[in-house]
Every structure is written in structure tokens, then in C-alpha cells.
Structure 1
Amino acid sequence: MLYSTVYSEERTKRSCSSGCIRCSEVNGCYKCRPRLFLYLARTGMRQTGHCIHSCPKGYFGVRHEDYSICNKCQLEHCNACFSNSYCTQCKHPYISYRGRCTESCPDGLYYANYSKDCRLLVDCMAGPWSSWTPCARNGQTCGFKYGITTRSREILEHPSPNGATCPSLVENRCCRMEMRHCADYDSLDSLTVTTPGEGQCSIDNG
């Protein structure tokens, strides 16, 4: 009777969702096409089967001879795992070390904030450069022939004591102003620099 009930609920391959070979109205898919993973999504007390190409976060894929399935990570404090014995991403504030989630790095290792793991050394990592600022001099973007433009970047990863130090975070360069005269002033001559240093700019890239 149970055998008959199961197959009375079974839909045809044509009526199942994409990638599914066998399914039921109650529990969705329970057999997927080759290479697809069966993922059981839980809603309250009910589980519904879906066929997907890769397992969602918090699950890892296991391939068997005749089916593939997504298993839930069971490791303590783990958000994402490669297998049931190796965590790849820990819950905050825990740290990933050799596939386990710990509260701190072992002695002799340093925490890498960017990659969220423990390492023998951590090199400084700088982010991308910002856009260049408008060409300016003495706080003005007009009234001079030449000015200075600046760009900057932030530190993404601070180095450990034995790691590579941080590069320059600020860069300056000379630039030619688009507006030689300031239109806001009645007397253009009053804002036109005629000193010998007008065509020069001093650069300090720290």
C-alpha cells in the first residue's frame, strides 16, 4: 500500500521542475538529473526537494554513484564548509584555522582580517586608488596656472610585525588648471598669480 501511495503522488518527468527526474506534489523533487544536487529546503516541519547546480551557503555537496545531495554543515560556529570536517567560513567573531572555528589564533600565528584566517605572517594590503581630486592650489580651483591633484587609498589589511609594511596611501601630482581666472571676481587681475613660482608646484607624496 505504501509503494502504491508513493507512486500515486509521483509526477511525470515532464511535470517536475527543471532538472528534476522524479517528484511528488507534497515533497517536490526527490531525484535529480545527473550532476545536479538535491537540496532539501525546510519550511517549518516540511521539506521540499529542489535540483540545483551548487549547494547554498551552509551546505556542502556530496556525490554518490547514482545521486548527489546537499548536506548541512554540522561544524560548530561554522557558516560555510567544504565537507563535514572542514569549515571555510566561521561565524563572527570566530576565526578559521585548519578547517575549525576558534576564538583566537594559536601562538606564533596572526589573524588576517581580510581573509579571516590565521597565518604565519600578514602583509599589508592597500585598497584601490580613489579618483583624482580637482586641480587646486591654496584651496582654489581657479586663479592659478598650475595646481596639485591628489588621490588616496585605504588600508584593507594591517600587517603583522613580520609582514610587509604598507605602501604610500596618498599620491600627489602637478596639474594645469582649466580655469586660469576666477569668474566670480570683478577684477580678474587680482586673482592672476604673476609671481615667479606660478608655473611651479611642490610635490610631497609622503
Structure 2
Amino acid sequence: MQLKLISFVLIILHCMDYTGCQQHNTSRHWQHKQISGVSSGCQQGGCLTCSDYNGCLSCKPRFFMHLERSGMKQIGVCMTSCPSGFYGTRSRERNTCTKCSPECDSCFNKKFCMRCRIGFYLHRGDCRNNCPEDMVRSDTQRECVPKCPAECELCVNSETCTRCQPGLYQLNGRCHRVCPDDYEPNDKLMECVPQVHCQVGEWSEWTPCSRSGRTCGFKRGQETRTRQVLQYPSPFGGPCPEISEIKDCVIIRRTCPGRRPNDRKQRRNRNNNRKDNKGVRREKKRERERARDTGDRQDSRNKTEHRHRRGHDLQPFSPKEGLVQ
């Protein structure tokens, strides 16, 4: 009897162990099927679990779950960032891509849009059909932009201009017909740019007193000094001052080295000869002038005597004078 009871208990325990093992093997087989889908059924490397029918069921950390519709079913895709028209939300359970509002093309969250769809205009994170009264619609930017002043072609707001109307120059967000003081127009940039004034360096030392390139052999000469231009002026900037100066001076060395002592005496004699020649020419000139004056006076005297004689010959004849006493 006892042997039968012991045998029955052993049979029951064996069956329980077999059933448990069978269930455990079935669970492990299902789990292995889900995980093995990462390499066989999933097309994205970010999938943690997936199915052949619905794609990714869960994503690895830092990936976002995005559901793409394919006919009547949705396929899960794991992405590092959400596509256009969606924004990412993170949680402990899963990271998902949430759709923006219908009029929004790109958004930061459900209430803040960053770019609107065609036909809508962005203003403070909201997509609108019409802009506020003090603003106008920009089709290129799909935004509500400020109304610019009359002289402004493009602006940031009603007080800051970034591009002026043709013929005007931009400076610090304002448009000018004539640039303010210390500024000058730049026709290439159409801006007022600061004027650049000339800058020069310090004067150099005076050169030795010289004449004709020599520092000796003359009584007087000239000295020169210069300075460099450090900054050339802009078209309307202050011009450069004089960069060179010349002044007269006295040459200390009258005799040049290597010259013979009588060179100076010969030069003095030549100068004296020139003076003597000039004196002779002046004396001859005076003699010619005196001779001319003497001749003129003699001619005048002869003419006077001739007139007297002619007048005496032409006197009328008197009968009384013809009688002989």
C-alpha cells in the first residue's frame, strides 16, 4: 500500500514538472519570436520590439515612435527626430511623435508653431489667415512682418530698417539722403560708413646741409626732413598734411677733401674776371652813349647855324643899302 502511494506521488510530481517546463518553453519561444523580429521583421535599427504586420512596437532609448499609415493599418517607425509637421514628446514609458496643428508646417509643441503651411502667416507662434493691423503678410517668409517706413524697403520693425529705398543710405537702422557728420556715403553698399582721416608718423631727422648732392664746397645749401603716411584718407576724409620740409642752411665745410688749395683762389679769380669783364662792357656802353650824345649835340648845333644862315640869305634888299657913300 505504501509503495503504491509513493509511486502515485512521484507520477504526479513528474507530470507537474513536465507541464511547467512545457509552459516555460512556450513563453520563451514567444519572447524569442518578438526579439528576433528586430533583425528579421523590423526595417529600422531603432526598434526594440516589433511585429511583421505593424512594424516597430517599441523603440530603443532616445528614439521616437512615429506611426505611418499604410492603407488601413499603421506601421511603427523608430526615428532619431520627428518628421516635418510633428514634434517629439518624451516620457518614461515611450518617446512619441505628435502631429502639429493642421495649419502648421513645423512646430515646437502643440501651441507654438515655427513655420506655417501655404496660405497661413506666422505671428508669435500662431498661424493666421490675416495679420494684425500694424503688420503685413510676407508670402516668401509666410510670416506677419512689420509695416516699414516710407523710406525703407525692408525692415525688422517700424523703427529698424535693413534696406533703404533706392538713392538712400542706411545707417543704424535709419535711411538718410545725406550722411551725418563724420560719415560718408558708400555707393556700393548703399550705407553711411565712418570717414577715415589721414594719419602720418613723426618727422625724421634733418639731412646734412648740402647743395647739388654735396656737403662741401659751397657756402649755403639746404636741409630736408620727411615723415611717412600711416593711414591714407577715405574719399571724404581729412587729407594728408605735408610729408616733407626743406629749409636753407650754411655749409660748414667750405673746402671738399681732395681738392687742391689753389682751387678756391682760381674760382675767386674767375669770379673777379667775370666782374672785370662786366665792368669793361659797362664802360664801353657808357662811351657809346657819350659819343651818341656828343654827336646829337653837334648835329643840333649845325642845324641851328644852317637855319640862321638860310634866314640871313633870304632878307629883302634895301635900296639905301645899295648906294655907295
> TM-score range, shorter-chain basis?
0.5 to 0.7
Query: Is 1:77–2:103 an aligned residue pair?
Result: yes
Q: What SS does structure 2 have at the residue aligned with 1:80?
A: strand
Cα distance 1:21–1:96, how it changes in 2: closer, same or farther (>3 A)? same
Query: C-alpha separation between the residues in 2 aligned to 1:24 and 1:122?
Result: 58
Alignment partner for residue 107 of structure 1, among 114, 123, 133? 133
Which one-letter code corresponds to 1:39 in the other structure? Answer: H
Find the counterpart in structure 1 of residue 50 from structure 2: 23
Aligned-partner Cα distance in 1 for 2:32–2:58: 16
Q: How many residues align structurally?
A: 132
Deviations 1:24-65 (A, max 9, x none): 011000111110111111111111111111111111111111
TM-score norm. by structure 1 comes to: 0.53
Aligned alpha-carbon RMSD (Å) = 3.1
Identity across the alignment (%):
32
1:65 equivalent to 2:95? Answer no
Q: Which residue of structure 2 aligns with residue 165 of structure 1?
A: 163
Contact 2:35 2:48 in 1 (8 A): no
Match of 1:37 in 2: 64
Aligned to 1:10: 34
Max radius of gyration: which structure? Answer: 2
Structure 2 portions without partners, runs of 5+: 1-26, 167-186, 189-325
The secondary structure found in structure 2 opposite 1:61 is: strand
Q: Deviation at 1:18?
A: 0.5
Provide TM-score, normalisation by structure 2.
0.35
Where structure 1 has 5 or more consecutive residues not aligned to the other structure, the ranges are 124-157, 172-206
**Residues in 1 aligned to 2:148 and 2:118: alpha-carbon distance in whole angstroms:** 20
CA–CA separation in structure 2 for the residues paired with 1:28 and 1:122: 53
Q: Label 1:65 to 1:121 Cα distance change in 2 as closer, same or farther (>3 A).
A: farther
State yes or no: 1:93 paired with 2:91.
no
- As a proportion of its length, which structure holds more helix? 2
